[in-house]
Structure 1
Amino acid sequence: MSGADLLEAWHEHLAKGRRRSPHTVRAYSAAAARLVTAIGAEEWRDVARLDGRALRGQLAARRAEGIGNASTARELSALKGFVAFARERTGEADSSAPRLRGPRIKKGLPRPVTPDDAENLADGVRSLAADDWIGARDRAVLLLMYGSGLRIAEALSLTAAALPLGETLTVTGKGGKQRVVPVLPIVREAVADYARRCPWPLAPGEALFRGAKGGPLGQGMVQKAMAKARIALGLPATATPHALRHSFATHLLGAGADLRSLQELLGHASLGSTQIYTKVDAAVLLDTYRKAHPREQD
């Protein structure tokens, strides 16, 4: 076996076993290649024996090359995953990654999806679902998040007492604070369609959105359904359920909504939490300008 064999197995694990994005596969493979070269690894045991101190030394070398916190954090994630993978291959009892804390990353700006992508995601989860009623359920949840700006927990906390939906909906957010949000016709229709198809009785005091066995729907199932649709549509990993809420805010701001109104719709305790969307909107507009302006094509 050689270092090239190790890297080929790691690459295949990331691309086929974990179905990571091409960008992540490239980055994680490059990090593993640097490590293999640095220690002269030719067998899995050469990698499996590495501890936190060894990885810290590798990161220090990369820091000396001038990489920042975000790149360091990604490098560390890749190296820890590579070592854990090596430990699995050698059959070690403890195949966990070395414990090593990475640098703190400053919270980035939300990355909204386009209106078309939001609708395609909602339709995608429906077409990929195992059962019609589950597909209708997942579509209704995603449209509620995008159309009304709900957090995933807020959407899933709704009870059947909300049926039938009207033009507005009262939701309970963080800290038990209630707010009124708009409900678009497409959202009302999606929720009504799900309610008609749901095989479980929707009593007023019980959860509106149900799991396959009739219990309250969990966040993980929504996240998995959206991830599956995202991959099928070729959208980036940032297209998460929470990105739909970001998109709701960004698109409203772009349409002329003022920050105070947006703060109320999102249920933010402070205006500072809402002001981040002014930066998002500026970034979206700048990107659009760069792609569309004739001079940018020169």
Structure 2
Amino acid sequence: MQRLSANYPVWFCDIWGVVHDGVRPFPITVAALRRHRAGGGSVILVTNSPRSHLGVERQLLELGVDPGSHDRIVTSGDVTQVLMRLHGGGRVFHLGPARDQSIYEGTEVERVALEDARAVLCTGLFDDLNDRLEDYDTLLSEMKRLGLVMICANPDKIVKKGARILYCAGKLAELYAARGGEVLMAGKPFSPIYDLAMAEAAQIRGRPVDRPEVLAIGDGPETDIRGAADYGLDALLVAEGVTDAAEGLHAVEAGVLRAVPHARIVATVHDLSWT
């Protein structure tokens, strides 16, 4: 990581699977982020969390992540707030858990019943620990009948929480799109979240930031790595987040390159060890 710190002054770092596992922080990663900043680098945490950056900051503090590990946080929730105003007309049905309600902070968007909504804001399953995907068949069918657009605040389809694999909003969006429903995506791998992160980087460093200066760090092939490639950024692939590293780092990287052949992976690592 020391070499990458010298070559890339700005890091766009994913959170879940890289900084923490949903239960506890990864100390090696947190230490590397702090060292990068101490050497003059900038760290922007870029996450597909449906919460606002304020909500994610609170969550990180609760998990014990050192706030000195990053300069700013950019979330798909931040991008979603814009989409809610533009496409939801200020009236949305919330498909997701109550813990994501920080996404409404600072907006005038009203949460209403499905039949009164202009759009559906999807932040995930109502209960991702216990719900099954088939539990949502009736709701998705009714949304399609009403012609409602789904604003997906988290394009991730799965996430690992400790040892468990949980479904995310992106999976419900995939099911809705398969029914012919219209879906708007807010986070990675789509460009609006990177545009916002680049604007934050320019503000931090006091000048425009060129893409060759930025390293995207993440574990998700279809979100972090594809998003970086589509945006023209080099990427560091972190194994063992949502990928299976049992066969070694080379096998992980080869698998990701098959899925994302235009990926610009500069290295594949188990963690962000500084050496």
- The TM-score bracket by the shorter chain reads under 0.3
Q: Which has the higher contact order (CA 8 A, sep 6+)?
A: 2
Q: Provide TM-score, normalisation by structure 2.
A: 0.28
Greater fraction helix: 1
Q: Provide TM-score, normalisation by structure 1.
A: 0.26
